[in-house]
Structure 1
Amino acid sequence: MKCKAYLVEDSSTIRSNLMETLHELAGVEVVGTAETEHEAKRWLAGNGEGWDLAIVDLFLREGSGLNILQALQARRRPGQRIVVLSNHSSKDVRWRCQQLGADGVFDKSTEIDELVDFCAGLQSA
């Protein structure tokens, strides 16, 4: 069964490249995208059964990925995963994301392979 992912990323270039990479290398089907906190929270709340993985950037065109993590803390189903993909992945940021329920934090510049491996692992789980 394909992993259904929802991608929250405000850069169209990164969004497009990531969708292609995750599909080709990890078999992930991106079922929706958002560029803002509000769009993401609305879609995720209204499609609770429609996703297995949310990939969230921290700094968005409007709002913050941290607020999305916080909103999903008590709302996600067992088995749903949330990861952060950001250029801002210091030790403190990673700790805060994990406190808010992130299953992983990946740096856009250096940890794309690790994100792909994480996603591929969801396929076999």
Structure 2
Amino acid sequence: MEQAVIVYLLLSDGQFGTPQERETIIALEQRLEQAVGNASAGEFDGDEFGGGKCVLYMYGPDAERLFAVIEPVLKSSPAATGGYAIKGSGRQQIQMQKRPVLAGEAVRNRSGRSHYKNNDRDQPKQANQQIIGDSIEG
């Protein structure tokens, strides 16, 4: 069964972030993609900007291992401060945790998977959610 780690990064302007934020996140994405690939832990599938956050999608056979690979990369990036990650098993579980706001509004990433946009910045924390930044115990 495919598992996922979905990372939510908060942006400063409530929309798509500043050009500098987007540039920093794109550099972070490249580091994440390299780390996941080098560890053969899965794949980095893409991003979604909007609603004051950037969402990063990663998939692999083991969400715990995938998160263990990306956690040091996230902790080392100022772009991830205040962000969080949701780990889950199976596509249905992840889609249920992400409440679609606008019916039919989806984003397709590199692999062609659909991800529903969620503009709710203050969605409740899930039981399997990890906080990125100083609050993660190492």
TM-score, structure 1 length as denominator? 0.34
User: Rg: which structure is higher?
Assistant: 2
Say which structure, 1 or 2, has more relative contact order (CA 8 Å, 6+ apart). 2
- Whose helix proportion is higher, 1 or 2? 1
TM-score, structure 2 length as denominator? 0.32
